[in-house]
A and B are shown apart, each in its own frame.
Chain A
Amino acid sequence: MSDEKIDKKLDIRGEVCPYTLVKAKLGVEDIEVGQVIEITLDYPEASRSIPKAMLNYGHTVLKVEEVKPQEWVIQVRKEVED
């Protein structure tokens, strides 16, 4: 799974809820179904809420990883049209 092709990278470090989700959602809208977005963030709450929201939107969460203290990388594959 770690060698998944990344189609778009989105850095939302410094953003807090709900703008973390707002920007993540807009990022997913910008890619095609089947493509993968990688989101980097540093707001702890969003590391839990974004994967949950993405599942609710119908997408697949490929990875949630704390890459360093207080910094997460989330990979999402878009599964449904917006």
Chain B
Amino acid sequence: MDFSEEQLKRYSRHIILPEVGGKGQKKISAAKVLIVGAGGLGCPVGYYLAAAGVGTIGIVDNDTVELSNLQRQIAHSIKTIDVNKADSAKQTFETLNPDVNVVTIKKRLDSKIILDLFKDYDIIVDGTDNFPTRYLINDACVMLKKPLVSGAILRFEGQVTTILPHDGPCYRCLFEEPPPPGLVPSCQEAGVLGVLPGVIGTLQATEVLKLILGKGTPLKGNLLIYDALGVNFRKVKIPKNEDCPICGKDPKIKDLNDLPEEYCSI
């Protein structure tokens, strides 16, 4: 692919970076990234990946935009209230950058569709807000050996990690099983500072671009925790668990299963 004059202008600040250049920009254009959830995290991730020119961005969401989302979900607007979130985000991202092909998957992610859906993408981004889906995404990425950039937020604190299956720990190495329903409050119960998903989402987008370019050090084997009130970034090492039920030597989990609904504290 040769760059058009428009693309040379649009991506000029990338092309002059030694770590990107024309070659890196072409890798970005050829990349396929799937974002699960077009909410607080998915919006900034998709926004910056669209701006960067990621060729194909898949967005999974079966929810519709509500007014209470707009305090933090920046791809949506009052014009897209009641519109499916994936469709709303697609409009925003394609307006920002028509080079990008945004594929909408207006379904609830479950064990039946996940492997088939993930296999077409290079990198998966977790922007979900519940534990069952988080674990399902982790397990599917381990099974398919897909890089996963995971983020989570609550109140004034967020965390991000990059999972490179079999080349570092996975989410289950850190927490083998999801917490019991009701133990961890949801954003709906506990609140979240609107800008927080912006910080965590842009860190996730940065990790995605580094993986596409093959530059820098991925955040594998580490959980980066951001505390907005105290302005602290802490990097906590996650050891790989040799007995991990999904990525260990003798994995117990061989099939994907959906956890019961009551786990979903959305």
Contact = CB atoms under 8 A, between A and B. Distances in A.
A39 to B, nearest CB: 15
B9 interface: yes
Interface string B16-50: 10100111000000000000000000000000000
A29 interface: yes
B18 A18 contact: no
Interface in B1-26: 3, 8-9, 12-13, 15-16, 18, 21-23
Nearest to B15: A22
Nearest to A27: B22
Contacts of B9: 19
A51 to B, nearest CB: 14
A56 B17 CA distance: 11
A19 B21 contact: no
Contacts, number: 30
Contact of B12 (A22, A53, A82): A22
Interface residues on A, range: 10 to 19
B8 A25 contact: no
Contacts of B3: 26
Nearest to A58: B18
A18 B14 CA distance: 11
Nearest to A82: B21
A64 interface: no
A29 B8 contact: no
A52 to B, nearest CB: 12
A63 interface: no
A61 interface: no
Contacts of A19: 8-9, 12
B36 to A, nearest CB: 33
Given A29-B23, A82-B23, A23 B8 contact: yes
Contacts of B8: 19, 22-23
B23 A25 contact: no
A26 B15 contact: yes
A22 B10 CA distance: 11
Contacts of B15: 22, 25-26
B22 A26 contact: yes
Interface of A: 18-19, 21-23, 25-26, 29, 53, 56-57, 82
Interface of B: 3, 8-9, 12-13, 15-16, 18, 21-23
List 7 A-B pairs, minimum CB-CB distance, nearest first.
A26-B22, A22-B12, A82-B21, A22-B15, A29-B22, A18-B12, A21-B16
20 contacts: A18-B12, A18-B13, A18-B16, A19-B8, A19-B12, A22-B8, A22-B15, A22-B16, A23-B8, A25-B15, A25-B16, A25-B21, A25-B22, A26-B22, A29-B21, A29-B23, A53-B16, A56-B18, A57-B18, A82-B23
